[in-house]
Structure 1
Amino acid sequence: MRSIPHQFGVDSQVAYTKMVFAGHTNLVPPAFMKGKFPNGLFEAMERRAISQGALAKAIGTTQQQISKLVHGEREMTALWAEKLAPFLRTSPEKLVFPGLKTFRAPLLSWVSAGRLAHQEGVKRSDVRKYVYLADLPKGDWIVLEVQGDSMDRIAPDGAYICVNLSDQRVINDKFYVFGTPEGEATFKRYRGGNPPRLQPYSTNPDHETIHMSGETVVVGRVGRVIHELS
């Protein structure tokens, strides 16, 4: 079965759509969609008032193929979604995963994240680009790219972590971005105690635990890790 890379990581199309329509996000596929591959094509076509025939001609396929996609009889793969999305003025993700509430979160550098411990809000100059996220609780979210292997058991080098700046209540064994006294940011697991500790979660034994000082502040709690499976 083909796996689809997307902003949530890499998931099986069938497994993810089954999870979505099983009630996890309170979504219900259209009544006419009898196939095993629910998608957002029908709604996108309705919004654009475009027929199956016109859409098929626009992307160089047959009306029969479009009909199978509309009724969930054919898988809405990443390739199909990328072909269809420009003509429907939507995103490929919304065709593959219909109904998910998406929003933009700024991707920041670690230097900018460190400054968040001492400034109010994200400045426009701090934003490298925006990343679309979905199905996360309300909050003030930023995205950071992991560097190094100190947390590689859950977030390898190059992965993205989604950080909720609104959630600064520390809970034992949960994962956070902290601002250090040196003005830097670090991603670690919080361990309570006297003193509290910031622990790496790594396959590399060279990384050491950091003991929290009074000047260490919580930037936000990590709510999701995004990475592609190799």
Structure 2
Amino acid sequence: MDANDLRDLGWTSEGPDYRGSRFHVRYVAHIATHRQGGVANLVTDECRDTRYAERMLQEWARDALKHSGLSQAELARRLTAHLHRAIDRAAVNKMTLGKRAIAGDEMIAIEEITGFPAPLENADGLIKVPMLDSLVSAGNLSPREPVKPEDVDRYVAASGLPPGDWIALSVEGDSMDLVSPPGSVIFINRADTRLVEGGFYVVAIEGDHGTTYKRYRASPEHFAPYSTNRDHGPVIIDDAFRVVGRVYRTMLDIGPHASRRGK
């Protein structure tokens, strides 16, 4: 780009001294900012915000350790037991120095272990979702009742979920294994109870069915399995039922310890 190009775009000689020739990088940045506010600043601001968030997490990791009185080695040992994957002292040390990213589930685990609140506002939309100990616990919740602490097995990290009232459950059995194999974690929005054809829901049904995770079918109205196992049949809606919430996400940990979580 040269001065003639700018004149063709309606630019005058005001502003930086373009010298009627090729432009230095800093002049092009000035042009981008002046011509389209925020274009040049956007990348700069994003980098600055990222660095700020990294520093905040680094300081938080150090403060959490200090608050708990734990050594880096002991925190590493407890994280390994909590997350079912190997985290050594060197990894914890790198977290406190800002040389290693802290994953969402690691943040929540550190919060639970140390009792020091995690700064989720600096974690790109990360939220802490209570994972209930069973489908029964989910079914026993009244529509507007908050989750009881005694029903929470642990907390799991999630990002990118829309606003809602979220709970998580671990899937047992194979009635939904085409989408959620045994051991999967499903995220349920309790604020979304409107039945939509083909949607996946956790529902509490009176009678023998109890609380179940199934796919809704409107014609004829029933809740269907989504399984490789043909022994599972549909749940015909003859009894009163209540929608606990719609399942928005299913997640499966296929790490070496994943078999411990599913049955």
Q: TM-score range by the shorter chain?
A: 0.5 to 0.7
Counterpart in 2 of 1:127? Answer: 152
Matches within 5 A, 1:92-111: 92-93=102-103, 100-108=124-132, 109-111=134-136
For the pair 1:190 / 2:200, whether they are aligned, the reply is no
Q: How far did residue 143 of structure 1 move?
A: 0.3
State whether residues 81 and 92 of structure 1, in contact with CA within 8 Å, keep that contact through their aligned partners in structure 2. Answer: no
Compute the TM-score of the two structures, normalised by the length of structure 2. 0.54
For the pair 1:156 / 2:178, whether they are aligned, the reply is no
State whether residues 201 and 246 of structure 2, in contact with CA within 8 Å, keep that contact through their aligned partners in structure 1. Answer: yes
CA–CA distance in structure 2, aligned partners of residues 116 and 46 of structure 1: 36
Q: How far did residue 82 of structure 1 move?
A: 5.7
Give me the CA root mean square deviation.
3.6
Higher strand share: 1
Report which of the two structures shows the higher radius of gyration computed on alpha carbons: 2
Matches within 5 A, 1:80-95: 84-88=94-98, 92-93=102-103
For the pair 1:180 / 2:190, whether they are aligned, the reply is no
Counterpart in 2 of 1:216? Answer: 241
State whether residues 168 and 221 of structure 1, in contact with CA within 8 Å, keep that contact through their aligned partners in structure 2. Answer: yes
- Shift of the 30–168 alpha-carbon distance from structure 1 to 2, 3 Å rule, reads same
CA–CA distance in structure 1, aligned partners of residues 52 and 143 of structure 2: 47
Q: CA offsets per residue over residues 86-135 of structure 1, 9 Å max, x none?
A: 445x971269xx85211111111212012025772311211111111111
CA–CA distance in structure 1, aligned partners of residues 185 and 93 of structure 2: 26
- Shift of the 204–127 alpha-carbon distance from structure 1 to 2, 3 Å rule, reads same
State whether residues 117 and 179 of structure 1, in contact with CA within 8 Å, keep that contact through their aligned partners in structure 2. Answer: no
Matches within 5 A, 1:139-150: 139-150=164-175
Gaps of 5+ in 2: 1-41, 60-71, 73-86, 107-121, 256-263
State whether residues 173 and 182 of structure 2, in contact with CA within 8 Å, keep that contact through their aligned partners in structure 1. Answer: yes
CA–CA distance in structure 1, aligned partners of residues 92 and 173 of structure 2: 32
Q: Which amino acid aligns with 2:154?
A: K
State whether residues 179 and 250 of structure 2, in contact with CA within 8 Å, keep that contact through their aligned partners in structure 1. Answer: yes
Paired residue secondary structure (1:45): helix
Counterpart in 2 of 1:114? Answer: 139
Number of aligned residue pairs: 169
State whether residues 117 and 218 of structure 1, in contact with CA within 8 Å, keep that contact through their aligned partners in structure 2. Answer: no
Q: CA offsets per residue over residues 150-190 of structure 1, 9 Å max, x none?
A: 00011000000000000000000010000010483100000
Gaps of 5+ in 1: 1-27, 34-38, 50-58, 60-77
Q: Which amino acid aligns with 2:94?
A: L
CA–CA distance in structure 1, aligned partners of residues 176 and 43 of structure 2: 38
Counterpart in 1 of 2:79? Answer: none
- Shift of the 32–202 alpha-carbon distance from structure 1 to 2, 3 Å rule, reads closer
Q: How far did residue 216 of structure 1 move?
A: 1.3
Provide runs of 4+ in structure 1 moved above 6 Å: 78-81
State whether residues 81 and 93 of structure 1, in contact with CA within 8 Å, keep that contact through their aligned partners in structure 2. Answer: no
Counterpart in 1 of 2:26? Answer: none
Higher helix share: 2
- Shift of the 148–47 alpha-carbon distance from structure 1 to 2, 3 Å rule, reads closer
Q: Which amino acid aligns with 2:131?
A: L
Counterpart in 2 of 1:225? Answer: 250
CA–CA distance in structure 2, aligned partners of residues 46 and 145 of structure 1: 32
Counterpart in 2 of 1:15? Answer: none
Paired residue secondary structure (2:103): helix
State whether residues 165 and 220 of structure 1, in contact with CA within 8 Å, keep that contact through their aligned partners in structure 2. Answer: yes
State whether residues 150 and 207 of structure 1, in contact with CA within 8 Å, keep that contact through their aligned partners in structure 2. Answer: yes
